[in-house]
């Protein structure tokens, strides 16, 4: 990137978001979102596994 282009991008981003992107509270917010997403994925995996186990039990019991 040219310096002029980089300066323009930095100027626009400062106007739209006056706090720096690597601020402490931004970092905490992003980490919280990551933890929430990981928790949701774990819960989905457990539900999916449990439904597969239930389906397997039904199949085995029907034989």
Query: For residues 14 and 44, what is the distance between their CA atoms, to the nearest angstrom?
Result: 38
Residues of the chain falling short of pLDDT 70: 1, 14, 16-22
Only one residue has tokens 């905490």, namely 28
* Structural domain boundaries enclosing 46: 22-63
Number of domains in the chain: 1
Spatial separation of the C-alpha atoms in residues 54 and 50, rounded to whole Å: 6
**Residue 49: per-residue pLDDT:** 94
In a domain, 13, yes or no: no
In a domain, 47, yes or no: yes
Query: What pLDDT was estimated at residue 39?
Result: 93
Cβ neighbours for 61, distance < 8 A, ≥ 6 positions apart: none
Determine, yes or no, domain membership for 15. Answer: no
In a domain, 52, yes or no: yes
Q: Is 26 part of a structural domain of the chain? A: yes
């Amino acid at each position: 990137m040219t310096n002029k282009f980089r300066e323009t991008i930095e100027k626009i981003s400062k106007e739209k978001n006056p706090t720096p992107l690597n601020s402490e509270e931004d970092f905490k917010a992003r980490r919280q979102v990551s933890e929430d997403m990981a928790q949701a994925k774990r819960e989905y995996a457990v539900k999916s596994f449990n439904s597969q186990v239930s389906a397997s039990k039904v199949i085995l019991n029907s034989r």
